Amino acid sequence: MPSTPSQDSSFLGHPRGLATLFFTEMWERFSFYGMKALLILFMTGATVQGGLGFDTPTAAAIFGLYTAGVYLSALPGGYLADRLWGQERAVLYGGILIAAGHFSLAVPSKATFFAGLVLIVLGTGLLKPNISILVGRLYASQDERREAGFSLFYMGINLGGFLAPLICGTLGEKVDWHWGFGAAGVGMVLGLVQFVLGKKKLEGPGMQAHRPPTEPLARKIRGQIFVGLGLGACLAVGLGIGWIPLTAVQLANFAAIAIVSMAIGFFAYLLVMGGLDSMEKKKVAAIAMLFIFASIFWAGFEQGGSSLSIFARDMTDRVVGGWEFPASWFQFVNSFYVMLLVPVFAVLWTRLGSRQPSVPVKFAVGLTLLGAGFLVLTRAAQLAETGAKVGLGWLVVAYFLHTCGELCLSPVGLSMVTRLAPERFAGQMMGVWFISMSLGNLLAGLVAGKIVQWSMSGVFFGVAAVCMVAGVLMAGLAGPVKGLMGQGNRADAEMDSTSASSAAGPATEPVGSSSSP
């Protein structure tokens, strides 16, 4: 019976299928973060050393647009899974495209470099949102293990993210760029093998057989794919050969507006013309509200790779035992903390069971923690701006607070979308959820670009203020958003009232634990 909670608990207390999805996603993220660690270095690397020799603004723009594109493509990726292929096949096709992309990067030529990036963007759009949906489907809608399951899945993501720079980064930088990219491709192939072998274990109470579309509909969708790919190719070529004269920053600003309009358009379309009943409409409205706060969160959080890196490079004393370690090493810190903290959070949510804080309260805590991290950085930057470099403890504490915030928001958000999205729009809803990430990445880049104008401490303080205000707003809106999510009704009444009355208590627990790293 579809609504009976699954009793399967053979993978660390979770359904067996979680192991398959955990390792597939681990390898996918390994390949993604492995090549991401190399990308900027390779593009700006001198041609005599095998790099592409691009200037920094061009490389940064390509990097920003690539990372935004990777998450933006989740919307068509989700759509294709909903309408044409189903989630499982979408993950499989996505993995194949990603592996092909990395191997294309492994070939030393500019054409194969750009082709590789495009293949990875398309493949990730198919794989990433849909694999998250498959995780959600392992659980019945009221199964309290769902969020803990997503936390574990998140650990797989970060295990991949942690190993990647070590392996692909070292190979790429020390041996040959293309070996690094090739290693990323090998990782994705391992993920694919894992997925194909473990696919049988993917049944769960929420798993539904995919209903293939009728032939005319399938033909129409295939037509849309060709038109979409054609337009994308024209745009890329137009930009590449300078027919569309836009600077990198103009392009990023334009992309931000386009992404916001797309998200608004999508939610409006679904609410007005999606044929949803009133219950479904409320849930979609709840996702839309949370989407706004998630975008603000990612715009701050994703500065971990931009303004925080610059702070690490220019203002932090990185000399340990007489040796200065590279600023890029701070990129491990977040993944390391995630692996350390996920078990803590998983136990916390499981222990609290029905008493755990509601999703909007967790979001509010997440934003506040991120804001607190930026306050720490503001003080550090103020000190550094007076002359001497500051100790690395400031960044270590800030990344810790940011990671605690991430764990209150990111896996929780994924889990919430799989629970609330109307079944027939599951892929698209997850796709739109990833757009918050795409937007966040783009905004993070634009905000980090303000360092020169506003000073480092000015930027950090501004981000801290926005996050704190957003956290307070989110907390204020928690009641109405919970109402929209359908809690406070029927069977959820009990869970909701206990979590509401205890929200002030447990909700602050991660804050308390995070203040003493």
List own/partner pairs for 352-355 with CB under 8 A and 24 or more apart: 352/506, 353/144, 354/144, 354/494, 354/495, 354/498, 354/499, 355/498, 355/499, 355/502, 355/506
Q: Which is nearer to ligand PHE, 140 or 263 (CB)?
A: 263
Instruction: In angstroms, give the least distance from the CB of 34 to ligand PHE.
Output: 12
Which token pair is 279? 């219950």
Instruction: In angstroms, give the least distance from the CB of 415 to ligand PHE.
Output: 11
Instruction: In angstroms, give the least distance from the CB of 338 to ligand PHE.
Output: 8
Contact 138, 18 (CB under 8 A): yes
CA distance 68 to 259: 9
Give yes or no for residue 181 binding ligand PHE (CB under 6 A): no
Q: Which is nearer to ligand PHE, 204 or 304 (CB)?
A: 304
509 burial (CB, 10 Å; 0-12 / 13-18 / 19+) is middle
Instruction: In angstroms, give the least distance from the CB of 410 to ligand PHE.
Output: 5
489 burial (CB, 10 Å; 0-12 / 13-18 / 19+) is exposed
What is the contact mask toward ligand PHE in residues 288 to 317, using x (rule: CB under 6 A)? Answer: ------------------------------
Going by their DSSP bridges, the two strands 319-320 and 323-324 should be labelled as antiparallel
Give yes or no for residue 437 binding ligand PHE (CB under 6 A): yes
Largest interatomic CA distance in the chain: 69
388 burial (CB, 10 Å; 0-12 / 13-18 / 19+) is exposed
Q: Which is nearer to ligand PHE, 127 or 372 (CB)?
A: 127
Which residues lie closer than 8 Å to 373 by C-beta, 6 or more apart?
A: 397, 398, 399, 400, 401, 402, 405, 464
Instruction: In angstroms, give the least distance from the CB of 438 to ligand PHE.
Output: 9
* 3-state class percentages of the chain: helix first, strand second, coil last, to nearest 5: 80, 0, 20
Which token pair is 319? 């000399």
Instruction: In angstroms, give the least distance from the CB of 77 to ligand PHE.
Output: 12
Give yes or no for residue 39 binding ligand PHE (CB under 6 A): no
Q: Which is nearer to ligand PHE, 205 or 431 (CB)?
A: 431
Q: Which is nearer to ligand PHE, 298 or 374 (CB)?
A: 298
Site for ligand PHE in 7-36 (CB under 6 A): 29
Which token pair is 289? 């509200």
Q: Which is nearer to ligand PHE, 106 or 430 (CB)?
A: 430
Site for ligand PHE in 58-87 (CB under 6 A): 71
Q: Which is nearer to ligand PHE, 85 or 154 (CB)?
A: 154
Q: What amino acid occupies position 260?
A: V
Give yes or no for residue 159 binding ligand PHE (CB under 6 A): no
Give yes or no for residue 157 binding ligand PHE (CB under 6 A): yes
Instruction: In angstroms, give the least distance from the CB of 352 to ligand PHE.
Output: 23
Q: Which is nearer to ligand PHE, 122 or 140 (CB)?
A: 122
Contact 67, 306 (CB under 8 A): no
Instruction: In angstroms, give the least distance from the CB of 29 to ligand PHE.
Output: 6
**Among residues 123, 122, 146, 119, which one has the least CA distance to residue 135?**
146
Instruction: In angstroms, give the least distance from the CB of 267 to ligand PHE.
Output: 18
Q: Which is nearer to ligand PHE, 26 or 398 (CB)?
A: 26
- Contacts with ligand PHE by CB under 6 A: the residue count is 6
Give yes or no for residue 418 binding ligand PHE (CB under 6 A): no
Give yes or no for residue 410 binding ligand PHE (CB under 6 A): yes
Instruction: In angstroms, give the least distance from the CB of 464 to ligand PHE.
Output: 21
Give yes or no for residue 155 binding ligand PHE (CB under 6 A): no
Helix (H) or strand (E) holding 229: helix 215-240
Q: Which is nearer to ligand PHE, 159 or 503 (CB)?
A: 159
Which token pair is 369? 């923690």
Which residues lie closer than 8 Å to 360 by C-beta, 6 or more apart?
A: 290, 474, 475, 477, 478, 481, 482
Site for ligand PHE in 184-213 (CB under 6 A): none
Nearest-CB residue for ligand PHE: 437
- What DSSP state is assigned to residue 274? S
Neighbours of 13 (CB within 10 A): 14
Positive or negative: CA dihedral 211, 215, 220, 226: positive
Instruction: In angstroms, give the least distance from the CB of 167 to ligand PHE.
Output: 17
Give yes or no for residue 434 binding ligand PHE (CB under 6 A): yes
Instruction: In angstroms, give the least distance from the CB of 68 to ligand PHE.
Output: 12
Q: Which is nearer to ligand PHE, 72 or 365 (CB)?
A: 72
Half-sphere exposure (Cβ direction) of 496: Cα atoms closer than 13 Å: 17
Q: Which is nearer to ligand PHE, 426 or 437 (CB)?
A: 437
Task: Name the residues that contact ligand PHE, by CB under 6 A.
Answer: 29, 71, 157, 410, 434, 437
